[in-house]
Amino acid sequence: MARFYFHFANGETILDNIGTDLADLDAVRKEALGTTRDLLFEAPPQIWAGQPCRIWVTDEPNALGQTVLTLELCAR
């Protein structure tokens, strides 16, 4: 298991300093997609106005270290 940190930006940036223990990159992808799904159901209005939203995952807290995955969303 490794610890991964999920960060969010959509006009405001929220950095993860706690992290989530996950087995591998496949588990990181599943977690990121689940977070994205939740975000769309509870979306801030900026997403629906076409403002991009980004979720990125690093191997160190506070967006330090290597980025292992990035998802960008924009609804129009």
pLDDT tens, residue by residue, 46-73: 666 777 889 999 999 999 999 999 999 8
Place 42 in a pLDDT band, splitting at 50, 70 and 90: confident
Residue identified by tokens 């999920």 is 6
Q: Cβ distance 53 to 16 under 8 Å?
A: no
Residue 53, beta-bridge partner list: 73
Q: Cβ distance 21 to 1 under 8 Å?
A: yes
Q: Could you tell me the pTM of the whole model? A: 0.86
For residue 2, pLDDT beyond 70: yes
Number of domains in the chain: 1
For residue 38, give its domain range: 2-73
Identity of the amino acid at 27: A
For residue 8, pLDDT beyond 80: yes
* CA dist., res. 65 & res. 34, Å (int): 23
* CA dist., res. 48 & res. 20, Å (int): 28
